[in-house]
Amino acid sequence: QVQLVESGGGLVQPGGSLRLSCAASGFTGSVYAMAWFRQPPGKEREFVAAINWSGGRVYYADSVKGRFTISGDNAKNTISLQMNSMRFEDTAVYYCATQSGGSPGYNYWGQGTQVTVSS
């Protein structure tokens, strides 16, 4: 049974930092990529960052470039998201996701972790 477990959410002041982690397990096929998405209050879920295990390429949404850093361990299927210089608009539920088993998109999702940026 596939499981994705996020941790590290919480409350942070504007300009502060927070680190999220995700551990994925239970896969019977290959995991090609892992990513972070977020859903701000009252808005649609949006892409934040991704890491492709083939070559280790990373991708970021324009809104987080230069502030957020994704990293991970291919062998353990774990990823982290270091969030710096945080802004009010970073407030959201953050989700970890994986692309695996030949799926063309992200097909497994975690339960999400709340991140709130507030003074």
Measured in degrees and rounded to the nearest 5, phi and psi for residue 59 equal -135, 145
Cα separation of 64 and 86, whole Å? 9
Please report the pLDDT score of residue 28 as a whole number.
Answer: 80
Q: Is the pLDDT at 118 greater than 90, yes or no?
A: yes
Say which amino acid occupies 70.
Answer: I
| The two structure tokens encoding residue 29 | 């096929």
Helix (H) or strand (E) holding 3: strand 3-7
Per DSSP bridges, beta strands 10-12 and 113-117 are parallel
What's the mean pLDDT in 15-20?
Answer: 98
Amino acid letter, residue 66:
G
Q: Residue 78: pLDDT above 90?
A: yes
Angle at 41 between CA 89 and CA 112, to 5 degrees: 95
Residue 48, pLDDT > 90, answer yes
Residue 69 identity (one-letter amino acid): T
* Encoded amino acid at 107, one letter: N
